[in-house]
Amino acid sequence: MSPRRKVIRKVSNPPMIKGFKPYGMEAGKQKLETINLLYEEYEALRLIDYNLLNHYQASVMMGVSRPTFTRIYAAALQKIAKAFVEGRQISIEGGKVYFDSDWYHCKKCGCYFNNPEKEKPVNNCPLCGSQQVYKFDLENTYEDVADKACSDMCICPNCGFEQEHKYGQPCSKQICPHCKSFMKRKGSPNCRNFKNQ
Amino acid sequence: MKVAITATGNTLESTIDQRFGRCAYFVVYDTESKAMEFIPNPNKDTEEGAGPASVQLIASRNIIKIVSGEFGMKIKPLLDSLKIQMIVLKEPEKKIKDIIEMLNH
C-alpha cells in the first residue's frame, strides 16, 4: 500500500541563503554528509522562532494541520541540533512546497494579481480599480463556474425589466421601477422565465 | 508609480505579450506623470535565463507592478522578494492603450 499523500506546504518566500557551513579545526578534516533541511522545515522555524507565532497560527499559514506542523517543526529542530553537535553542513533545499504570496482575482477585468506586501489588505484591483476582488484559490474557481450560469443582470419576474446587478446588493432587495415588485437574478433557478409566461 | 507592461510591438496599438521574459518590448508607464517609455527587451532571443535578466531590467527602473500574460517558475520567487506586484491578464487581444486606460481608473 502506498503511503498517505503529503499535503503541499505553503512557503511564503525562499530563504536568502542555500545553507550553512561549519568552520574551525575539525570542520575540514571530516567528510561528513550534509544535513538537508527542507524548505518547509526552514519555514516552520522562521514562523515559530523568528516571527514568534504559535503552532496553530503557523500551521494555518503553511496550509497544513496543527499536528503536521508540529511534526515538521520537531524535524527541523532535530536536524539543526544534529548539524550543530556533529559539525555538519546544512543545506536548505527540497521538500514538498510551493512559494506563494496570496493571489487575488478581479471579476471586472478578469485579471489575477498577487499581493507582495502581505501586511496591507487588498481592496482594489490594481489594474481597473474595481472592488470586486476575491482571494483566488481552487475553491473559488468552482464558484466562478457556478456564477457564469447567472448573468450580471437583475430581472423583474413580473414585467421582465432588466437592470445591471450592483455588486453587494441582493437582487431580491431591489424593487422594479415599473411594477414595484422585487427583482430576481437573471438566469437563476428561482427566476421565472419571462418569455414563457 | 511605475508600471511595466509587456508588449508585442512599440506602438500603443500593439497587444500585450503573453510572455514576460521573452516579450518584444516593455512599456514603462508612470501613472503620475503619464510618461511612457518603450524599452526593447534585450533578452528576447536568449536561450536561458531570460526571465531573471528581465527582472533585473525591471528592478533597476523602480517599477512596482508588472502586467503580463504569464510569469515563469523562476520569476515568481524573485519578484516576491523584490516586492514587485505581478498582474496576470490572460487576454492576448488587449491593446496597450486599453491597459493604460484601465490603469488610469
Cα B25 from Cα B14, distance rounded (Å)? 10
**Residue spans in chain A of domains classed CATH 2.20.28:** 103-149
CATH number, domain with residue B81: 3.30.420.130
ipTM computed for the complex: 0.77
Cα A55 from Cα B56, distance rounded (Å)? 37
Q: Coil, strand or helix: which one is A14? A: coil
Class of domain A103-149: mainly beta
- Closest alpha carbon to A68 in A15, A9, A132: A9
User: For chain A, what is the radius of gyration of the CA atoms?
Assistant: 26
Q: Which domain holds residue B51?
A: 2-103
Is A141 in the B-facing interface, judged by CB distances under 8 Å? no
Q: Which residues of B touch A18 (CB under 8 A)?
A: none
From residue A74, how far is each of A42, A80, A92, A185, B74 by CA, in Å?
11, 10, 16, 52, 30
A25-63, pLDDT tens digit by residue? Answer: 765 566 788 999 999 999 999 999 999 999 998 998 888
Contact between residue A11 and residue A98 where contact means Cβ atoms under 8 Å apart: yes
pTM for the complete prediction?
0.53
| Per-residue pLDDT band at A118 (split at 50, 70, 90) | low
- Closest alpha carbon to B85 in A120, A43, A11: A120
Q: Which residues of B touch A14 (CB under 8 A)?
A: 77, 81
Report the number of distinct structural domains present in chain B. 1
Cα A116 from Cα A61, distance rounded (Å)? 15
CB neighbour list of residue B35: distance below 8 Å, 6 or more residues apart: B29
Residue with cell 476575491: A134
pLDDT score, position A170 = 78
Q: Which three cell numbers stand for residue B105?
A: 481608473
Residue A120 CB neighbours (<10 A)? 8
pLDDT score, position A174 = 80
- With residues binned 3-state (H G I as helix, E B as strand, rest as coil), the percentages for chain A, rounded to 5, are 30, 15, 55
Nearest CB among A99, A113, A128 relative to B86 is that of A113
Cβ contact, residue pair A111, B88, below 8 Å: yes
Nearest CB among A99, A127, A130 relative to B77 is that of A99
Q: Greater confidence, B80 or B87? A: B87
Cα A10 from Cα A7, distance rounded (Å)? 9
Q: Coil, strand or helix: which one is A127? A: coil
B3-53, pLDDT tens digit by residue? Answer: 898 988 888 888 888 888 888 899 898 888 888 889 888 888 888 888 888
